[in-house]
Amino acid sequence: MITKRLRVGVIGVGYVAKNNYLPVLAQTEDIEFVGIMAKNYENAVRAGKSFGAAQAVDSIEKLVDLGLDCAFVLTPKQVHAEQVTFLLNHGVDTFCEKPMATTLRDAAALTELTEKTGRKLMIGFNRRYAPVITAAKEALDDGVPDVIIAQKNRPQTEYHATLENAVHMVDLMRYFCGEAADVKAISKYTDRDYETFTTAQIRFESGSSGILIADRSAGQWEESIEMHGGNRTILVHMPESVTVVDDRQRHTTELTPLAMGWAKSEDKLGFSYAVRHFFDCIREDKLPLTSPQDSFKTHELLNRVLLSAGLPAME
């Protein structure tokens, strides 16, 4: 059986695109990488030559005119809603980096638009697709933890730091525990747009209790998930290892040795698996794991954290 080669376009040639997505697309055999777009045409040309795009363009209209089956929106979050709306309205299935929009209103509108147009939209919560998270989910065996502690810490703050980075941990907490019943958060800041840290305690409808830690004054980037319940502990140290502990043994799996030392960041952090999932969902007409309907709930929960912490909300 011959599988149709999907005609793929990409919008955005920044750090995230060049380090996490374009290398994956360049090595994917069952697609045609027909076009790449950037506001700066020369940047699009350089990226296209480096990663095998057939054509470089400087507008979304020109990109769609290439006859796309699907597109990747890898641009700054401020333009996600506008670009995704254009693509969906022109019949193009779309993969959008997180967050799907900067406001809940725009996120809701995108969700409704997928239902109206019948097009696929997948949000790039790549951590869900990371091998260590997949292993942790399997170790839970369809259960939920009693307690989850999720941390994403980095050395320096940035504009709306909690929205920019803690959203991954909020999404994973939902993935493991379900929907939130109650949220209490605190934050430290001199300028509300550049917080130093945010912490939150979240009570889930499933009975789980979660602690979110998002510190921007740490020594290094650090990401981890710690879960306890049923006399078992699951420890995830992103992106490399997962440890399962019970009353008889402690078993740790590390990815790099399994890949004979060649484990790549796009694999370990889940980007390559997310891309593959997107293509499979298009071909098999399936709803993505990180659909707009599901991802909107993550945005809603993050908004509750921001409001409780006294930070600018997604409103």
Q: For the chain (length 315 residues), average pLDDT per consecutive 10? A: 83 96 96 97 97 97 98 96 98 97 97 97 97 95 96 95 93 98 97 97 98 96 96 96 94 84 87 97 97 98 97 91
Alpha helices in 90-149 (DSSP H): 104-117, 131-140
pTM for the structure as a whole: 0.95
**How confident is the model at residue 1, as a pLDDT?**
45
Q: How many residues are there in the chain? A: 315
Q: Helices 167-177 & 131-140, crossing angle to 10 degrees?
A: 30
Map residue 181 onto helix, strand or coil: strand
For residue 257, count CB atoms less than 10 angstroms from its CB and return exposed for 0-12, middle for 13-18, buried for 19 or more. Answer: exposed
**How confident is the model at residue 64, as a pLDDT?**
98
**How confident is the model at residue 2, as a pLDDT?**
52
